[in-house]
Amino acid sequence: MRVFRKQYFVNPRIQLPLILGANVLALVSFTLILTLNAYAQAELQSTIFALRLSPDHPLMELVTRSKANYARMCLLVGGIQFVLFNFTAIFVAHRIAGPLYRLERHLQEVGDGGEAGDVKFRKGDLYQQLAEACNKVMARMRELRSKP
């Protein structure tokens, strides 16, 4: 019985820069969210100052609670965003590196004297046209080998 396992890091040289790029995007986006939150808090503070509300005013408790809620919401959104960016990056990197890895292995096998068979990519993989072009070359090689 054959066990099928997905190996998501078949070519780290290709995949890691994509994942690192996704992390940079997540960090930039999270920084923008925090900056907008800080700007909103500063505007709120200036409004409170302009209204000259005393620290024991009932609205001050509401303002304090809303600050804490905004901060928690920013952290929650940032965390979800980080996870989603990374899962997406890993998935896309797998769909890019997997076919290239498969093609490289196939060409090495043929180069080492193996059968010039067709290369097959998984459904949903990128570079399907590359597999088709490679299969044309392999068919031509088989045709040339079979001629006397």
For 1-40, what is each residue's pLDDT tens digit?
Answer: 454 556 777 788 888 898 899 889 889 988 998 888 888 8
Burial class of residue 112 (count of CB atoms within 10 Å of its CB; 0-12, 13-18, 19+) = exposed
Cβ atoms within 10 A of the Cβ of 135, count?
A: 16
With a CB cutoff of 8 Å and minimum separation 6, the contacts of 38 are none
Q: What's the rounded mean pLDDT across residues 123-142?
A: 88
Q: Provide the pLDDT for residue 1.
A: 47
Predicted TM-score (pTM) of the model is 0.67
**What's the one-letter identity of residue 111?**
G
Taking the C-alpha atoms of residue 7 and residue 16, their distance in angstroms, rounded to an integer, is 14
Q: What's the rounded mean pLDDT across residues 84-89?
A: 90
- Name the residue with tokens 């959104």: 77
Kindly report the CA angle at 120 between 115 and 123, in degrees rounded to 5? 170
Q: What's the rounded mean pLDDT across residues 128-145?
A: 88
Contacts 24+ apart (CB under 8 A), 103-106: 103/127, 103/130, 103/131, 103/134, 106/134
Taking the C-alpha atoms of residue 12 and residue 25, their distance in angstroms, rounded to an integer, is 19
Taking the C-alpha atoms of residue 30 and residue 77, their distance in angstroms, rounded to an integer, is 8
Q: What's the rounded mean pLDDT across residues 67-92?
A: 87
Q: What's the rounded mean pLDDT across residues 70-99?
A: 88
